[in-house]
Chains A and B, each alone.
Chain A
């Protein structure tokens, strides 16, 4: 046999043996990939924001495919369209996503809020907060240096008159800003919320008055006048129970410092 032929035959033979072994092995020992998981992962937006409570989109897809009873409407950025697609893949009833928007619990802008020192350090809320709790007299409020704005993937937060404002039309409710805020004054609200408390100060009324003219002084007028009993004052701060609230706005009218306002959640979600 010529050397060329021998070489060709032997390499082909070895290749064939390897191929057969691999084919047999993958047939008998292959672990089936969960098709549902792949299909669900296709539906998800892939932003890996973590708003669903799982480790990114892959984690959510895996959990949905493998465990029973996980809600299909947890993907906030994907909204109804994604929830519906996932429900189709899993063959269950789809539920509407209640869109969430971030809201800053502070109205202490430069007109309302008194300053105690001038801060000229690193332009970061976290750094400013470490220096005597920030430049403002109130150490519970918005520091206005935009840590939330810098983490916002949607560019939905702007700093206006010294405090952060969320553009509810752009906000997708991922909650990154809430994690970034060193004073923890950003909270996610369901898009249907009507009234919100715009203060986070839990000090006594007289102390709040000295620091900020827009703060909640814990007078309790809102709680006494609410027809549904939805408002209560906890630790000198008004708290609204949104299970009971009907959005009538009486608390807003009665509040002497205008620390309860109508929520401006009139973004894309409602229409």
Chain B
């Protein structure tokens, strides 16, 4: 029960309070680039969840069993980038060969998030937060879900924005950034929700 509560707390925290896009401002380029249509946004979100889980499953053992015992913790960033990039490429090859239908739906997004900062951020934060393997995986799932949520919400906002007529100087990127900041501001309302529910 205690573990379950902890897992739920980690997920809630990473989806709502520490949302990677809207609170930590990581992964902004897919957030702005692929959020024009709802189906693309959700496709991207699902691909990100997939890659975050894979990346954590690969990088956590590397950090714990290879880098830390040898005193190479400072190589974290470069090694993680290398491993994640290779891993995503590998997964893409495997998907193309064995599950073409999944490749057809996720394939476009996979190379885009090969070295996405949100993916790298999740893996590094899992280490700095001192999570064990299971907790790291749950945290990655939560962060991926948070990313998906942010993408879907923002895609909805943008689809509404397409129909609005802002002043000419604000059209395009400026109004998109302004809207993103308002959505981000809304997410700050979740601050403290986790401690109120679960206690300290």
Contact = CB atoms under 8 A, between A and B. Distances in A.
B33 interface: no
B83 interface: yes
A14 interface: yes
Contacts of B86: 18-19, 21-22
B82 A26 contact: no
B93 interface: yes
Contact of A30 (B75, B78, B82, B93): B93
A18 B93 contact: no
A15 interface: yes
Contacts of B62: 14
A3 B71 contact: yes
A29 to B, nearest CB: 4
Nearest to B87: A18
A21 B75 contact: no
Contacts of B125: none
A78 B94 CA distance: 38
Contact of A11 (B75, B96, B97, B98): B75
Nearest to A17: B86
A122 interface: no
Interface in B28-54: none
Interface in B58-109: 62, 66, 70-72, 74-75, 78-79, 82-83, 85-86, 89-90, 93-94, 96-98
A22 B89 CA distance: 7
Contact of A31 (B70, B78, B97): B97
Nearest to A18: B86
Consensus secondary structure, chain A interface: helix
Contact of B72 (A6, A21, A29): A6
A25 to B, nearest CB: 5
Given A7-B75, A10-B72, A18 B97 contact: no
B40 to A, nearest CB: 18
A14 B86 CA distance: 10
A11 B93 contact: no
Contacts of B98: 29
A29 B94 contact: yes
Contacts of A18: 82-83, 85-86
A25 B90 contact: yes
Interface string B17-34: 000000000000000000
Contacts of B75: 7, 10-11
Among B71, B78, B90, max chain A CB count under 10 A is at B90
B164 to A, nearest CB: 22
B28 to A, nearest CB: 27
Nearest to A31: B96
5 contacts: A7-B72, A10-B72, A10-B75, A18-B82, A18-B86
